[in-house]
């Protein structure tokens, strides 16, 4: 049976010393720190997607390029996360943003899971006594050596193009209207990578909770015969939710094109569908 990448509160209560992380971002349309201060699970540390999990926007690198290994190592030091840690991350958007942290840790071989919790459950409570007992108090870890991002876990724009030309699977994780180019609320150019198929990450959820493994296998059956499948989205964030769902379903770990549509569309030499 595939490892549980998504876990629930009952599972969390059985784990001792887990590092619980609340991921916030300005992508949610509000001040992420204020939202965290307003409501979060007890014992959860705050991480900013914009400041901690990405470098500044950078043209063809996209709106949320991966941070340098040195910057990310400093973030993990601050949180007390080392190679032996168990990290459980969540957000108030069904995992849309926290998935980025979980994916980043997993490709570095750190045991990280995404908490499958409905947003309403976070607003209704700040964490049970049993959950608090299982959450590790933050303690700075010994200075962590920076580890480069594994080449086999990420894909460049050129690799996306080559993979599609070879008949490989590339998945666009955005909403269908954005994929079809009918609307584009963020990036200056609408459309999608020619040859990519659409699997909106939000459809991994049903009423705010993860669908069954069987449903996920059906959703992503197209990747079963492509161990080198690639996922992308607008800026390499919600694509991680699809990547984790595919792994949770036992279909392997796809590569993530972190530049995603924001990076692809910033290059005038790239074709657009």
Q: How far apart are CA 163 and CA 261, in angstroms?
A: 16
240 tagged catalytic: no
Q: How open is the CA angle 44-45-51, to the nearest 5 degrees?
A: 140
User: Out of 19, 161, 233, 249, which one is annotated catalytic?
Assistant: 233
Q: How far apart are CA 66 and CA 262, in angstroms?
A: 14
Q: Can you read off the two tokens belonging to residue 271?
A: 């074709």
CA terminus-to-terminus distance, the chain: 38
* SS3 (DSSP) at 6: strand
Does residue 32 contact residue 48 with C-beta atoms inside 8 Å? yes
Q: How far apart are CA 252 and CA 243, in angstroms?
A: 9
Q: CB neighbours (10 Å) of residue 126? A: 14
- Enzyme catalytic residues: 233
């Amino acid at each position: 049976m595939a490892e549980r990448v998504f876990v629930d509160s009952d599972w969390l209560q059985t784990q001792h010393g887990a590092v619980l992380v609340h991921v916030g971002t300005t992508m949610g349309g509000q001040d992420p720190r204020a939202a965290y201060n307003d409501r979060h699970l007890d014992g959860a540390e705050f991480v900013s997607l914009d400041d901690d999990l990405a470098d500044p926007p950078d043209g063809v690198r996209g709106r949320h390029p991966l941070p340098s290994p040195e910057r990310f190592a400093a973030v993990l030091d601050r949180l007390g996360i080392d190679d032996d840690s168990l990290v459980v991350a969540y957000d108030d958007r069904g995992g849309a943003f926290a998935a980025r942290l979980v994916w980043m840790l997993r490709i570095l071989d750190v045991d990280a899971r995404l908490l499958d919790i409905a947003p309403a459950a976070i607003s209704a409570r700040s964490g049970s006594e049993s959950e608090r007992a299982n959450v590790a108090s933050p303690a700075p870890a010994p200075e962590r050596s920076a580890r480069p991002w594994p080449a086999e876990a990420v894909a460049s724009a050129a690799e996306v193009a080559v993979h599609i030309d070879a008949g490989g699977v590339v998945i666009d994780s955005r909403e269908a209207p954005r994929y079809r180019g009918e609307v584009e609320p963020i990036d200056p150019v609408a459309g999608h990578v020619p040859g990519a198929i659409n699997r909106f990450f939000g459809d991994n959820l049903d009423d705010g909770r993860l669908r069954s493994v069987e449903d996920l296998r059906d959703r992503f059956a197209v990747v079963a015969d492509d161990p080198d499948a690639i996922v992308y989205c607008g800026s390499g964030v919600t694509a991680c939710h699809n990547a984790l769902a595919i792994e949770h379903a036992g279909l392997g770990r796809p590569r993530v094109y972190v530049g995603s549509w924001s990076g692809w569309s910033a290059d005038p030499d790239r074709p657009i569908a």
